[in-house]
Amino acid sequence: MSLNERFDGWLRWLTATQHNLRSFSILRIIFGAGLLLTLVPSIPDRSYLWGPASFWVDPEARRRGYITFDVLISKSDPVLFDVAFFALVALVLLFTVGFATRFVTPVMLIMLVSLQSNNPYVLNGGDTLYRITLLFLVFANLSAHFSVDAWLASRRREPAGGRRTLAPGHVVNSAHNAALILCCFQIIVVYVVSGIWKLTGDDWPAGTALFYSLRIDAFMAYPAFNELLWQSSLLIYVATFIALWAQTLFPLALLWRPSRIAVLLTLMFMHLGIAVLLGLWPFSLAMIALDMLFIRDSSWVRLDGWMRSRLMRWRGRRRATKTNTAASVPIS
């Protein structure tokens, strides 16, 4: 295949259609759930965390160069702060269910950055990923599936997210696919940099880093689980090496389908472990959601078909069992 043919094929991939729509829709739901799990439990303490009562953090915020968007998230007026805070919660809820997503996403991003800039002490790696990738997701079609937009579009018999588009179709497709590329690149950077930093230390190559990570008191969400894992040195050793090399070799694993499936499953289970054992669930949810962007729509369709066939077989066996049971009951 010549260079021109390769370029034409890549250009068609970029402009002809929108890719990984199901993965983007699942990402939207997970992102929205993660943001709601941060905001809703914080409602009683919202003023101390981001509002007028968080004045104690202002010197550090100024020292770090954070900009406080007082126009959007006021720290001087409690009423205006509450209006803006609950407006952000409502926007996140609309984003999660997928209603008017193309308009809600950029407004929600601005409001979220405004809120988070009020207090840098409560930020973590998950918040950073939300902010970076949401900027890319502004240009993606996030509501093609599992959304109110998709339901409304089906009633109008038009593609979800395809209404009131001023730009040509190839431009909209290119923007969506560029968002996919940028999000995937961001995840590759996170994994590779994380793996390289682990290799430069002593604990990860020695296979002991996970043991020390699980013993940090501040991150023990369920101490009993952590103590149970400490009992097996072999388990800690193997899990440490799997986590290290799954992240470091992530770009190479993506090139072959079996290794891509294996590494994605490994990293998703790793992030579930981080969420449960270390309590860093905002970061874990963000990473799991972004990992799913490497799953193509055809894979989701096959998985859906397999699950439906298994469900139909199970229902058929239940009906057959009930029929046989009823037939075997003697009539008195």
Integer angstrom CA distances of residue 81 from 70, 74, 116: 9, 5, 13
Is 325 a member of any domain?
A: no
Pairwise CA distance, residues 223 & 226, whole Å: 5
Is 152 a member of any domain?
A: yes
Is 57 a member of any domain?
A: yes
Q: Residue 135: its pLDDT value, please? A: 94
Is 208 a member of any domain?
A: no
- Which residue bears the tokens 């202002």? 58
Question: Which pair of tokens denotes residue 245?
Answer: 């090399």
Pairwise CA distance, residues 221 & 213, whole Å: 12
247's CB contacts (< 8 A; 6+ apart) are 191, 192, 194, 195, 198, 267
H or E stretch covering 280: none
Integer angstrom CA distances of residue 79 from 54, 85, 87, 115: 15, 10, 12, 15
Pairwise CA distance, residues 189 & 211, whole Å: 25
* Residue 17 domain boundaries: 8-186
Handedness of CA 101, 107, 113, 116 (dihedral sign): negative
Integer angstrom CA distances of residue 227 from 75, 207, 275: 43, 18, 16
pLDDT digits (tens, 9 = 90+) for 142-169: 998 999 999 988 887 765 555 556 678 8
Is 65 a member of any domain?
A: yes
- Tally the domains of the chain: 1
Is 221 a member of any domain?
A: no
Is 287 a member of any domain?
A: no
10-residue mean pLDDT profile of the chain (332 residues): values are 78 89 95 92 91 82 62 83 94 95 94 87 85 94 91 75 66 94 94 91 85 79 78 85 92 91 92 86 90 90 85 78 62 50
DSSP 8-state code for residue 98: T
Pairwise CA distance, residues 269 & 207, whole Å: 18
Q: Residue 332: its pLDDT value, please? A: 47
pLDDT digits (tens, 9 = 90+) for 31-84: 999 999 999 999 999 998 998 888 888 777 666 656 556 667 888 888 989 999
Question: Which pair of tokens denotes residue 116?
Answer: 């988070």
Contact assessment for residue 301 and residue 39, using Cβ atoms and an 8 Å cutoff? no
Q: Residue 278: its pLDDT value, please? A: 84
Q: Residue 58: its pLDDT value, please? A: 78
Is 170 a member of any domain?
A: yes
